[in-house]
Structure 1
């Protein structure tokens, strides 16, 4: 009997660990919310490191910071896998695939240096989780969800393009000057201001500018729509699952089902 219990001990401890992680990642208890908020802060700090990577790459301590961030990302990925009830489905999700790619660039910075600018996409990956939005929907600021999502998409695009431009066009200007010039070019191109004092050379530079202008304008329009269109709230209809409704809606406009949208004006 004791031998059977010894064999089952590690398995039971593993199951308890998985259950605990599920409660922390998906629960609504005060402890779970504190844990989720702490992971959000860590993720934002990691994103800050990714944004500052071009400025830190030449520093002696860069590799130590790089591998430390890789360790944190690896621990987070493993924890999310343990907390998941369907690991194969989790591994097929775009956000997880992106995190695995980011982990590869962190573990092999010398070989994947030219793809380091894609690490900023972790900001988009973070915005795809319901951690932040679930809590926002329970506050009076729930109508700002669409605006926040559109703003995150625009900011992510700006820094991804800035990293791309810096890596392939301004790498010869190391440090802050080169990065600021890449950011300046990106903002001027996305806003179609077109001062013309900084341009990208060659056919590749012109094609890059065209893509940046087209995608940037689309993201700006999406942000403007989210800001100026009539505000709606996210509240799934129990009958037809329609997600978006007016804040004071009593009936679902699709099926007529009675809604009970919580009021957070207090």
Structure 2
């Protein structure tokens, strides 16, 4: 046999990395099922993060907290092994956010006041390409931009609710205080401003101002997404314009003739 054709056998570590790459980045039925399961697990973890303020103090809370920490460590380690460039992955905002969330899980007593930032895991999930790849394969593909905008608003609402509850309502505790924090957040974001609930002091007023400004921006973005003409995702091979009208024959940017398949409609 020619030496050029000889390839040394892969080690178990290399086999493991190849397998993880196939699962995380592949498009085989097995890989897609694996990616769907990880997405569902992420959603369950996010649900726990949202409910965490109501579960604190219960005997099972720390067991769930540390179990999720172990699960996240395994998942982060698997993503690193599946990556072709670990250092570049470690510098990505989503990975830095996941590492911070992991630290709040491992040290809940020291980083308790930053626990509300765990809900940003929902934003991290929205940056996973596989979520949108799977959505585009369904009849809801045309709602991608709307779902993205809704995801941003939901993330913002619960992050702010967690912040308001932690720094203004936590002393009272309980479900009622959390609902009041959520009620204040929604009333402020929508600029309804009933005035029956207000945050005390200068810090409370500054918080309200920031919530109103960012919240109305997100709602305007959602409104633009809902009412602008519906377009489909089909990159132009000439100029790479991403979105076109469903019945477009030519690219409106460069005039290149498009061949949009029927399944894209």
Q: Same fold (TM over 0.5)?
A: yes
Q: What is residue 193 of structure 2 aligned with on the other side?
A: 194
Superposition deviation, residue 225 in structure 1: 0.6
Q: What is residue 82 of structure 2 aligned with on the other side?
A: 83
Q: What is residue 39 of structure 2 aligned with on the other side?
A: 40
Task: Please state if 1:102 is matched with 2:108.
Answer: no
Superposition deviation, residue 265 in structure 1: 7.2
Superposition deviation, residue 137 in structure 1: 1.9
Q: What is residue 234 of structure 1 aligned with on the other side?
A: 233
Out of 152-161 and 71-80, give the one that drifted further.
71-80
d(CA) in 2 for partners of 1:126 and 1:258?
35
d(CA) in 1 for partners of 2:30 and 2:50?
31
Please give the per-residue CA displacement for 1:170-210, whole angstroms capped at 9, x wherever unaligned: 01111111111100100011111111111100000000001
Q: What is residue 208 of structure 2 aligned with on the other side?
A: 209
Please give the per-residue CA displacement for 1:45-80, whole angstroms capped at 9, x wherever unaligned: 000000000001111111111000001111111111
Query: What is the DSSP-based 3-state SS (H/G/I as helix, E as strand, rest coil) of the residue aligned with 1:264?
Result: helix
Structure 1, unpaired ranges of 5+:
1-7
Q: What is residue 12 of structure 2 aligned with on the other side?
A: 13
Structure 2, unpaired ranges of 5+:
1-7
d(CA) in 1 for partners of 2:126 and 2:29?
22
Residues 21-40 of structure 1 mapped to structure 2, 5 A cutoff: 21-40=20-39
TM-score by length of 2: 0.94
Label 1:265 to 1:255 Cα distance change in 2 as closer, same or farther (>3 A).
closer
> Matched residue pairs, number?
258
Query: What is the DSSP-based 3-state SS (H/G/I as helix, E as strand, rest coil) of the residue aligned with 2:199?
Result: coil
Q: What is residue 64 of structure 2 aligned with on the other side?
A: 65
Residues 118-197 of structure 1 mapped to structure 2, 5 A cutoff: 118-197=117-196
TM-score by length of 1: 0.93
8 Å contact from structure 2 (residues 232, 264) kept in 1: no
Query: What is the DSSP-based 3-state SS (H/G/I as helix, E as strand, rest coil) of the residue aligned with 2:148?
Result: helix
Superposition deviation, residue 234 in structure 1: 1.9
Q: CA RMSD in A?
A: 1.4
Superposition deviation, residue 15 in structure 1: 1.1
Out of 233-242 and 124-133, give the one that drifted further.
233-242
d(CA) in 2 for partners of 1:68 and 1:30?
29
Superposition deviation, residue 138 in structure 1: 2.7
Out of 133-142 and 47-56, give the one that drifted further.
133-142
Q: What is residue 3 of structure 2 aligned with on the other side?
A: none
